[in-house]
Structure 1
Amino acid sequence: MATIVRVTASEEIYQTLRAEILSLRFKPGEEMNLQLLSSQLQVSRSPVRDALMRLSSDNLVDIFPQKGTRVSLINLRQVEEERFLRKSLEESAVKKFIYQAREEHYERMERTISEQAESMKQNDFVSFLEADDLFHSIIFEGIGMTRIWKIIKAQGGNHHRIRLLSFYEKNVLANIIDQHKEMVEALRYKQMDSILRLEDKHLSKLLQETESMFQRYPGYFKQESVQTGLQARIVNL
């Protein structure tokens, strides 16, 4: 008998609001009014409040007692921590994947690249990012470590949002597609040095793009007078 998975109202609301934040439909710094959300979602305030508490634990919303709740500004220190987590785990995963992958994995990767190309034509950045994530998830699936990918996704909200913002920069989407094609070729022909070089380049590209994004969307970022690991100097405390 198949197992029936029951999704609670709080879980469903959490997933809905998280998706809205990660897609930037809820902008960094935007107010999230408890009463308004309850009305729009046609539920009581309790499951919405529970969902917001979970989003706060994800560093995606800030809750100010007696003042309200807002979508968290993008914290560049947390972006770097999340990027470091993903880069470290994915580079380890790809060292296993290169020897365990089968042709079906490469074919699936190539299909995600085609999906990205179509999304680029439509200027559908959210779909492009979904296909991008699917491309990388195949690496973890191929070595039987999908739980690790889920951890990366769960802990990567700031990194996810800044990746989506980067898609507005010139030539970024086309460059990602080209890098993915090169990665598939290096994996298929067991070129370890090449895939590690490409992984490093691919997962470090935000280092060069962050300065431009901060200049374009200063209100989206938590302002700090520090030199972060992303090499972007944030001024005006």
Structure 2
Amino acid sequence: MKESINTRVYNKIKEDIMHLELKPKEEVSVQKLADAYGASRTPIREAVLKLSQEGLVNVKPQAKTIIQPISEERVKQENFIRKSLELSAVPDFLYNCSPYTLDTLDEMIEIQRRAIKKNKILDFCEIDHRFHKLLFNTASKELAYQVIESSATHSQRLFFLRAKQSGVSEEIVEDYKKMVDNMRSGKEELLERMVDGHIEQYYSVGNLKKQYPDYFV
């Protein structure tokens, strides 16, 4: 089914926000966005309203409309949601996963490894979403994955900013490889510790706030 103009405009603007093409604290307007995306003002207004509800755009009547800066406090709350849901899904994933599932995860890791070597950040992130989606689908926790995807808008921008600044670390795929090895051996407690550490390491603000103060609040 062909997506509507409203959906297309919304998806493109959100994609550009998430990938920092539209930068945190950048001033925008309905007319500016309409010109940039080749759309009329109505679908732009609807997209901006929806994005404001998702915490990505700050709309103030009679004032500037800006791309929301990355909130350190929101990142912490998003990580709490991510960690809680991912850790809760581990037992069901281990119970349901098959050799085929684990082989598929291994294949995704190798694709990510190649993307890192070519510095293709978008390709890496696309596979990363598929990797985590498969984990939740296998655990029969599809809604949990949707909750993370819809809420983790600030932490995902943070991850992308770090990747743009210094590239995606190969340590990530090594972590994933170790996780899959633990999945194969059914080491639930060790797997949970790795998931916890992975989130703390790659979805924390760290020194990025000092390097990009205008991007944060």
Q: TM-score range by the shorter chain?
A: over 0.9
Q: 2:173 aligns to what?
A: 177
SS at match of 2:66: strand
Structure 1 length as normaliser, TM-score? 0.86
Show the counterpart of 2:216.
221
Structure 2: 5+ residue stretches without partners: none
SS in 1 for 2:169: helix
Q: 1:119 aligns with which of 115, 119, 140?
A: 115
Residues 1:161 and 2:142 aligned together: no
Tell me if structure 1 keeps the 8 A contact 2:92–2:140.
no
Partner of 1:67: 63
Greater length-normalized contact order (CA 8 Å, ≥ 6 residues apart): 2
Displacement of 1:101: 0.3
- Alignment CA distance shift 1:126-1:6 (3 Å): closer
Verify: 1:46 aligned to 2:42, yes or no: yes
Does residue 30 of structure 2 align to residue 34 of structure 1?
yes
Task: For residue 170 of structure 1, report the CA deviation from its aligned partner.
Answer: 5.4
Query: Contact 2:116 / 2:168 at 8 angstroms: preserved in 1?
Result: no
1:1-150 superposed matches below 5 A = 5=1, 7-150=3-146
* Cα separation, 1, equivalents of 2:97 and 2:80: 24
Q: Could you tell me how far apart the structure 2 residues matched to 1:48 and 1:100 are?
A: 43
Question: Aligned partner of 2:124: which letter?
Answer: F
Letter in 1 for 2:105: M
Ranges in structure 1 where 5+ consecutive residues have no aligned partner:
223-237
- The percentage of counterpart residues that share the same residue type is 28
Aligned residues: 217
Q: Shift in Å at residue 7 of structure 1?
A: 3.2
Q: Which amino acid aligns with 2:147?
A: I
The alpha-carbon distance between structure 1 residues 171 and 124, as it changes in their structure 2 partners (threshold 3 A), is closer
Runs of 4+ more than 6 Å apart: none
Provide the C-alpha distance between the structure 2 equivalents of 1:67 and 1:151, rounded to a whole number of angstroms: 31
- Rounded to whole Å, the distance in 1 between the matches of 2:123 and 2:2 is 27
C-alpha separation in 2, matches of 1:24 and 1:164: 8
Call closer, same or farther: CA 1:197–1:171 in 2, change over 3 Å: farther
**1:191-230 equivalences in 2 (<5 Å):** 191-206=187-202, 210-222=205-217
More helix by share: 2
**How big is the shift at 1:130?**
1.9
TM-score by length of 2: 0.93
Distance 2:64 2:166 in 1: 37
Q: In terms of mean alpha carbon deviation, does 175-184 or 40-49 score higher?
A: 40-49
